[in-house]
Amino acid sequence: MPTAAKRILDYLNQHPEGADDDELTVALGLKRRQHTNIVCRNLASRQLIRRQRVDGKIRNFATGQTVPVPTRAPADASGRPWYWEGCVQARVEQYLRAQGYTILRTANTATHERGKDIEAQKDGRPLWVSVKGYPRGTKRTQPGGQAVLWFKDAMFDMLVWHGVKTAADLALAFPDFPRYHKSLAKVAWLQPVIKFDVFWVSESGEVRRESAV
């Protein structure tokens, strides 16, 4: 089944007049407007669509580009898959360094070290990142259900850290799986309140930053 991103992009390519988030949600039978909004903002950050205010409302327009087919990123030296927490953490670290951050500390994900997974700093401003991978599942648990629990753990980090030090920037980091997008859509109202960013790591190794504002 096509992803929500591809369905939205296909629809907009066929409707040059564009559509707002509400119209897309109804036309495509998507469950939540918040999820549509997140997907559209992600597409806009990749310049696949353009979001423009028309008559007081944001409308989405296709830019004529297509969703690129990702290439498979190699597993780490231990053979773990790209969506393992340690691989996600490493990709985000590389991204932050390229953006001018200094990495102050990283947790050892292989040993499940507790605490902040990444502590970075730029221009004197600290950044704390909670990183999650994607579960493989077991005989008793399904990956999707386990991922929801991991998402809740990461959100709890945001709540606790926000109360501890409001002078720090906060962020989550996830492998780019639909389950995490759906979970985030359910608490989309909280992101601008706590002001946390989200780093999405793709199978190709690309990191996309979704800002709270």
Q: What is the DSSP string of the chain?
A: ---HHHHHHHHHHH-TT-EEHHHHHHHHT-S-HHHHHHHHHHHHHTTSEEEEEETTEEEEEE-S--PPPPPPPPP-TT---TTSHHHHHHHHHHHHHHTTPEEEEE--GGGT--S-SEEEEETTEEEEEEE-------SS--HHHHHHHHHHHHHHHHHHHHHH-TTSEEEEEEES-HHHHHHHHHTGGGHHHHTEEEEEE-TTS-EEEE---
Give the pLDDT of residue 212. Answer: 73
Give the pLDDT of residue 69. Answer: 43
Give the pLDDT of residue 110. Answer: 74
Count of CA atoms in the C-beta half-sphere (13 A) of 189: 3
Taking each helix axis from N to C end, the angle separating 178-186 and 33-45, rounded to the nearest 10 degrees, works out to 120
- Residues spanned by CATH 3.40.1350.10 within the chain? 85-210
Give the pLDDT of residue 41. Answer: 86
Number of residues that this document lists for the chain: 213
As a whole number of angstroms, the distance between CA 124 and CA 118 comes to: 16
As a whole number of angstroms, the distance between CA 145 and CA 137 comes to: 9
Classify strands 169-175 and 125-131 as parallel, antiparallel or unpaired: parallel
CATH classification number, 4-62, choose in 3.40.50.720, 1.10.10.10, 1.20.1560.10, 1.10.8.50:
1.10.10.10
Is the distance from CB of 122 to CB of 99 less than 8 angstroms? yes
Residues 6+ away with beta carbon under 8 Å from 126: 104, 119, 120, 165, 167, 168, 169
Work out the number of other CB atoms within 10 angstroms of the CB of residue 156. Answer: 11
Residuewise pLDDT in 10s, the chain (213 residues): 467 888 899 999 999 899 999 999 999 998 888 889 888 888 887 788 999 998 889 999 998 765 544 444 445 555 688 999 999 999 999 999 999 999 999 998 777 788 899 999 999 999 999 999 999 866 677 888 899 999 999 999 999 999 887 789 999 999 999 999 999 999 988 988 888 999 999 988 899 999 876
- Residues spanned by CATH 1.10.10.10 within the chain? 4-62
**CATH code of the domain occupying 85-210:** 3.40.1350.10
